[in-house]
Structure 1
Amino acid sequence: MPGDPPAHRVAAGARRGPSRRPRPFALLWGAGTVSALGDGVHWIALPLLAASVTRDPRLVSLVSVAEQLPWVLFGLLAGALADRVDRRRVLWRLDLVRAGIVAVLAGTVLTGTVTLPVVLLVAFTLTSFGTVYDSAAAAMVPALVPVAERPAANGRLQAGVLVADTLLGAPVGATLFTLLAAAPFLVDTASFAVAAALVAAIPAGAAPAAPAAAAPVRVDVATGLRFLLGHRLLRRLCAYGALINLVTTVAVALLVLYTRDVLHLGSLGYGL
């Protein structure tokens, strides 16, 4: 999303003369899209890796449990924490941490020492950090984008994530896994590193740190829940989303075994 900054920023002295540096939101969008591509790659590769370690459906389904459980445990807490931290700093640091985690997993795959507990731990840890990352990234949009442009900005952010994660990440991850089991995780490591660099390039002044919160975290969480439960439209949207996610996760949990053992499509067929 290249372009000149708004007129009020020019008047305030935000830049002098013509500049081709990307806008802060463009950097955030690029980081989110690149990171989402890596998420899609490892999301499809982790069940394939688990299925290569064990053929027990109950054990393979634990990968989906490990990937979804952090949202239940930490989702509300992550939202409250995102309002209390320097979001820019948190984002690039979380990307570096996640890059290190996936790099370790890639190392175990390359050396043939990977085990199912390692796969489950990585899946759980990545999603746990992801709850904070997604909340902080969404909360940065109001700081980077004027009010009138926020609907379009949020749309672009979500479109980039969905296309990169769902449409591109799955076939790319499956193809890479077919070529080399560690390849998806090496690519994911690189995607996190690139995303960290893009977020770090956002000027610190463009996304000021969140002000100190007066109320405890539990009070903020309770306040948010009361607001949600009291808002009819949001309450329905959340209920629909929860139901769709529940049914989808049930289907996806064992899809890797079904496509390989019943349909005989192989890893690439599973990704597609």
Structure 2
Amino acid sequence: MTTATTSSSPLGPGFWNFWSGLLCFSLGDAVLYIALPFLALGTSPAVNQHRALGLVVLAGSLPRFLAPLLGTLADRAAPKPLLLISAGLRTLSALLVGLAALHLGQLPLWVPLLLAFGNGLLSTLTYTVSRTLLPRLVGQGALTQANALTSGALMGGPLVGYGLGGTLLALGGSGPTLLIAAGLSLGLLLGAGRLPDLPPGASGTGTPGVWASLAASWRLYLGRPLLLAMLLFGFSLNLLMNMLNVRAPIHLLSVGRGAGDYAVFEGLLSGGMLLGTALVGLLARRLNLDAMLGLGRWVVLLGVVALLPGAAAMWWAGGAVIGLGIGLLEVAAITRIQALVPAQGRGQALGTAMGFNALGLLVGAGVAALAWPTSALLLAGAALLLVLALLWPLALRREPALGVAAD
């Protein structure tokens, strides 16, 4: 199968319509992300803070276990309708909960739990569809640039969205914040509506069944040391990030200004991610993808170590450094997978990775909900990342030379 493009130029109008919709999606998601923890904290004064936040983060993480099935759906259904449905449902759910919070005030805990689960499900679908769609919108030679720009939209949007969300929370509470998130989500509807009507990536009588595709995807990961090492690090990174998702609002509430400091932390984390994606283009002239993946591991580890002193300023600095490492890893990892996996199996392969990462999210949220010191959790996370960073050169030595999958 040959790679389809919508324009003779490397990045045509199809890509930019797609990119603008994802930028709006990331802005709305960031505003909603800031609102959810404080919506949960306001459910009832009798609800334990660790428990409430842990449950909400867990509810948002559980849909990632469905990522392998969503990846199969992304391979076998036309991308445009999937993005339209996802954006529409996401806008409606944020609108309804925002209106309820505005008019009723205190909401039961099941409301933010349901919103977190639904948003997690739709965000996972959007992400999977977008990553399988991208190689079909641009040529192979422009794929790294397109991945960097797409990751920049997904990571740079929150740089504004977190600040907007924190400001709206301080001024009007969760209700108005969720209404703004709903309005921003409309941008993906407009962007997806202008996409070309591409057919499904996998079709025909020779297409394997869902479980056969899932088994083939796992064989691919287990048979390639580099991909297996990427899978294990992704698990560990997601475990760490969900621990931070639970502990950061509470920790910064105890050492600083609460929502304001938390918004700064998330904004710097997102800013670091944006900078990391921007650096990919410069580093690609000197480093190949595998070297960039190794560098990103050490940068993330450095950021985690910076969190250990506990002061709000150190959490800001650590968040920025962690984000920088994630930005480097994101573009390199996605481009690596897209190059190694044929077009008809990319959604399944990405979904398999996301599903495994969901286990890390589950463990991270569960551990963070326990009454263990945040410093102890960070030390354990840093030790795990250190071991995996040291094992990366071994995976490289056992991995065949860089290859490109035939479409």
TM-score, structure 2 as length reference:
0.59
User: 8 Å contact 1:98–1:192 — kept in the other structure?
Assistant: yes
**Does structure 1 residue 45 correspond to structure 2 residue 47?**
no
- Cα 1:242–1:148 change in 2 (3 A) is same
Match of 1:79 in 2: 71
Give the aligned residue type for 2:73: L
1:201-256 Cα deviation digits (max 9, x unpaired): 1232xx33334252211111111111011111121112112112102211221322
User: 8 Å contact 2:165–2:177 — kept in the other structure?
Assistant: yes
**Does structure 1 residue 150 correspond to structure 2 residue 140?**
no
Measure, in 1, the Cα distance between the counterparts of 2:82 and 2:241. 30
**Does structure 1 residue 65 correspond to structure 2 residue 67?**
no
Give the aligned residue type for 1:6: S
**Does structure 1 residue 236 correspond to structure 2 residue 226?**
no
User: 8 Å contact 2:42–2:107 — kept in the other structure?
Assistant: no
**Does structure 1 residue 172 correspond to structure 2 residue 164?**
yes
Higher relative contact order (CA 8 A, sep 6+): 1
Give the aligned residue type for 1:134: Y
User: 8 Å contact 1:51–1:257 — kept in the other structure?
Assistant: no
Match of 1:163 among 156, 160, 167: 156
Give the aligned residue type for 1:91: L
Match of 1:212 in 2: 203
Measure, in 2, the Cα distance between the counterparts of 1:233 and 1:168. 35
User: 8 Å contact 1:24–1:202 — kept in the other structure?
Assistant: yes
Measure, in 2, the Cα distance between the counterparts of 1:269 and 1:197. 33
Alignment of 1:1-272 (within 5 A): 5-6=7-8, 23-54=13-44, 56=48, 57-71=50-64, 73-112=65-104, 114-165=107-158, 167-181=159-173, 182-204=175-197, 207-212=198-203, 214-260=207-253, 262-272=254-264
C-alpha displacement of 1:183: 2.1
Q: Percent identity?
A: 24
User: 8 Å contact 1:176–1:183 — kept in the other structure?
Assistant: yes
Give the aligned residue type for 2:35: A
Gaps of 5+ in 2: 1-5, 265-407
Gaps of 5+ in 1: 9-21
User: 8 Å contact 1:42–1:184 — kept in the other structure?
Assistant: yes
User: 8 Å contact 1:105–1:114 — kept in the other structure?
Assistant: no
Give the aligned residue type for 2:199: P
How many pairs were matched up?
A: 251
State the Cα RMSD in Å: 1.9
Give the aligned residue type for 1:109: A
Give the match's secondary structure for 1:254. helix
User: 8 Å contact 2:248–2:262 — kept in the other structure?
Assistant: yes
Give the aligned residue type for 1:177: L
C-alpha displacement of 1:111: 1.3
C-alpha displacement of 1:5: 3.7
Give the aligned residue type for 2:261: G
C-alpha displacement of 1:79: 1.2
